[in-house]
C-alpha cells in the first residue's frame, strides 16, 4: 500500500477514532476494537486508489490459528460488508465508497458507529465471539465442517474431546505434508505446518500448559502480521480460568 493510500485511510478514520476511545488505527488498511485477545475485532478499508474507491468490511480474526503466509485472509474469517447508508448511497453504484464523494467521511463514521461497533463491542469474550461465528453462513463456507478451525477453536475453549475428534480427521494429511516438506532439499517446515502438528501433539498428550503456550505463540505471530502487536495481550484461555490460582503462573508476563 502506498504512503498516499495509508494517509487517505488515516484521515478517513481520525474522526471515528476521536469519537470512540476503543477504536485504533493499526496501520495499512486495518482498524481494531480494543482490547485484542484471542479473536481480533477488525475493520478493513480495502483501498483501490487507482480506481478511485474503497470497500469496507468488519471481520473477526482468530489469532490462535497460525495463518498461511500465502493467504493474508487466513482461516475461517467471519466477515461482513459495509455499504453506503441509504441517505448517501449513490444511484446505480451499489453503495461503493468513492474517494471523490465528500459525503463519505461523515457516512463512514455513521455506518461504523451504527452498524458495526455495537456488534463488535458486544463480542467481548471468546465464548460470545465463537457462538456468533458459528451462527453465520459465509458464502457457502461452513465453520462446522472446517476441521482445522474447529480443532483449534474447540481446543482454545477447552473442549478437548471435540477438538481431538476434528484433529483425528486431518492428522493423516498433516503428517504426510510434514514428511514431504522435511524430505525437500532444504528440509524446512513452514511455521503454519509446524504449529498445526505441535498443537495436535499437545492435544493428544493432554498437555494443557504446552497447548496454551503454542496457541499464545500463534497469537503473537498473527498479531504481528496484522500490526496488532502493541494492542494484543496474552489472556487466559477458558480452560485455564477453571484452574486453581497457581495455574495462572503459566500466563505470559504482560509487562
Query: For the segment 220-247, what is each residue's pLDDT rounded down to a tens digit?
Result: 999 998 889 889 988 999 998 755 443 3
Tell me the C-alpha to C-alpha distance, in Å, between residue 189 and each of 113, 173, 177: 43, 15, 9
Q: Which residues contact 194 (CB under 8 A, 6 or more apart)?
A: none
Residue 180 belongs to domain spanning: 143-250
Q: Please give the sequence-ordered ranges of beta strands (E in DSSP) within the chain, or none if there are none.
A: 23-27, 30-33, 39-48, 53-62, 78-82, 97-98
| CA–CA dist 148, 252 (Å, integer) | 25
Enumerate residue ranges in the chain where pLDDT < 70: 1-4, 68-77, 89-95, 137-141, 178, 181-189, 242-255
Q: Are residues 165 and 193 in the same domain?
A: yes
Q: Are residues 201 and 161 in the same domain?
A: yes
| CA–CA dist 156, 152 (Å, integer) | 6
Q: Are residues 200 and 112 in the same domain?
A: no
Domain boundary among 81, 107, 134: 134
Q: Are residues 156 and 126 in the same domain?
A: no
| CA–CA dist 234, 90 (Å, integer) | 44
Distance of CA 71 to the CA centre of its chain: 13
Closest CA to 116 of 184, 33, 226, 214: 33
Domain boundary among 105, 134, 163: 134
Q: How many domains does the chain have?
A: 2
pLDDT for position 255: 44
Q: Are residues 118 and 43 in the same domain?
A: yes
Whether 255 is covered by a domain: the verdict is no
Q: Are residues 43 and 81 in the same domain?
A: yes
Domain boundary among 82, 101, 134: 134
28 φ, ψ to 5°? 65, -115
Peptide bond into 190 cis (omega under 30): no
pLDDT for position 105: 93
Q: Are residues 153 and 115 in the same domain?
A: no
pLDDT for position 77: 64
Q: Are residues 106 and 210 in the same domain?
A: no
pTM: 0.84
Place of cell 524446512: 188
Q: Are residues 35 and 112 in the same domain?
A: yes
pLDDT for position 187: 52
- The alpha carbon dihedral of 87, 24, 156, 238 has a sign of negative
Q: Are residues 7 and 130 in the same domain?
A: yes
pLDDT for position 85: 86
Q: Are residues 154 and 62 in the same domain?
A: no
Amino acid at each position: 500500500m502506498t504512503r498516499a493510500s495509508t494517509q487517505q485511510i488515516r484521515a478517513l478514520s481520525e474522526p471515528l477514532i476521536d469519537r470512540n476511545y476503543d477504536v485504533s488505527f493499526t496501520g495499512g488498511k486495518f482498524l481494531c476494537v480494543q482490547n485484542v485477545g484471542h479473536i481480533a475485532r477488525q475493520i478493513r478499508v480495502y483501498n483501490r486508489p487507482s480506481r478511485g474507491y474503497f470497500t469496507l468490511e468488519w471481520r473477526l480474526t482468530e489469532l490462535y490459528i497460525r495463518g498461511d503466509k500465502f493467504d493474508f485472509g487466513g482461516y475461517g474469517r467471519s466477515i461482513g460488508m459495509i455499504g453506503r447508508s441509504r441517505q448517501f448511497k449513490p444511484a446505480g453504484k451499489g453503495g461503493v465508497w468513492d474517494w471523490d464523494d465528500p459525503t463519505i467521511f461523515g457516512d463512514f463514521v455513521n455506518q461504523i458507529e451504527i452498524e458495526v461497533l455495537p456488534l463488535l463491542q458486544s463480542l467481548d469474550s471468546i465464548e460470545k465471539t465463537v457462538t456468533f461465528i458459528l451462527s453465520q453462513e459465509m458464502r457457502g463456507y461452513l465453520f462446522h465442517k472446517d476441521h482445522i478451525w474447529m480443532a483449534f477453536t474447540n481446543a482454545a475453549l477447552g473442549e478437548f474431546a471435540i477438538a481431538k475428534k476434528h484433529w483425528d480427521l486431518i492428522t493423516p494429511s498433516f503428517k504426510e505434508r510434514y514428511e514431504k516438506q522435511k524430505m525437500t532439499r532444504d528440509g524446512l517446515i513452514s511455521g503454519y505446518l509446524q504449529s498445526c502438528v505441535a498443537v495436535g501433539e499437545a492435544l493428544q498428550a493432554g498437555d494443557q500448559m504446552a497447548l496454551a503456550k503454542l496457541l499464545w505463540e500463534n497469537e503473537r505471530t498473527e498479531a504481528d502480521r496484522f500490526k496488532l502487536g502493541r494492542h494484543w495481550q496474552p489472556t487466559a484461555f477458558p480452560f485455564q480460568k477453571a484452574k486453581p490460582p497457581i495455574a495462572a503462573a503459566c500466563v505470559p508476563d504482560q509487562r
